[in-house]
Amino acid sequence: MSKLKLTNDIFSESQLYKLAIMGCVPAFAELGYRECHRRAGFSKKFGTLENKFREYFELPKTASGHVRSLSLYKRESSQLCKFHSRVYEVPLRFLINPINTNNFNKLLMGTPIDQKVIDFVLPLNRANASIVINGKELTSLEVRDLKFSIVWINWFFKRPAFRRPPSKLLNFHFSKSDLNAVLNYDFHLRSIKLSKESIKKLEDSGFQEDFIRLSSAQLATVAENLRQPQITKLERLFYIFQNMDVVKEDLTNFLPIFAILNIQNYDSGMKLIDRFFKLGYTRVLHAKIFNIGFFKLLKDKNLIQELNQRVDF
């Protein structure tokens, strides 16, 4: 099987910044590597990004503890275009992301489900090769966007896929020990200190494990401000995606949450799903929050008031 042979220098600083802000360490390192070569020294913009990494993400350090190191940045940035073997299996339509233009995302979404990254490796590796998607020959900028979209999704495959989002922005309603207790007792909720009314609501929902794993104070706040048509749209999108049954589950779990979108709901759905992505619900694995009835629990004021009291803000 042919492998992608891309280099970091084809990506703009704007693209790298947007990817780094989402926690991509190699993109951050590539920016650091470029900053090391600036005559004027490190920019204020990079310093702001560096602080964000310290606060929210794992920031690689040298043995001496110094972060700004040319050799460190060079080593870490080399991972940007080293592709996970399973990236080649991803259908093009799942490469959509909030960094692309809407037109390019729609172009990707119009591709058949069996058109995958592997089908474009050879032309992407050739300089100035013609690449056609849905009958449209890509411009040089669109070719770069396609390469960037593959780098974007590669970052999802290079990191572990946790069923609970590993986000420092989220205050979960239930601790890991609560979740373990429920799992160890065959989903028996009596092991958790909650009122009888709240326990019954969770038991009646039929998806108490997902709720205990994913529910957070921040998610409840977003849910409170959603209108019913928006909730219905999210529930329908996830239902349709679940029933497509065209991608292996172990591959699906690594996909970004934007993969549940379809072209008919793109315009209104992209910004809506991006709200959850920015909270930390970044993967299809976390889209179980869109199960029918999940938001009904999140909008239950008495239940959420009790659950919020369990959270240390």
Contact yes or no for 237/290 (Cβ under 8 A): yes
Lowest-confidence region among 33-37, 109-113, 205-209: 205-209
For residue 128 the two structure tokens come to 């100035």
Closest CA to 18 of 52, 58, 63: 52
> With left for phi above 0 and alpha for psi between -120 and 50, is residue 245 left, alpha or beta?
left
Task: Look up the pTM and report it.
Answer: 0.90
Contact yes or no for 109/96 (Cβ under 8 A): yes
The answer to whether residue 6 scores a pLDDT higher than 70 is: yes
Q: Residue 133: helix, strand or coil by DSSP?
A: strand
The answer to whether residue 63 scores a pLDDT higher than 70 is: no
- List for the chain the helix, strand, coil content (%; round to 5): 60, 5, 35
pLDDT in tens, 41-52: 788 888 888 887
Q: Confidence class of residue 65 from pLDDT cuts 50, 70 and 90? A: very low
CA atoms of 290 and 235, how far apart (whole Å): 5
CA atoms of 40 and 42, how far apart (whole Å): 7
pLDDT in tens, 152-168: 999 999 999 999 998 88
pLDDT in tens, 215-235: 999 999 999 999 999 999 999
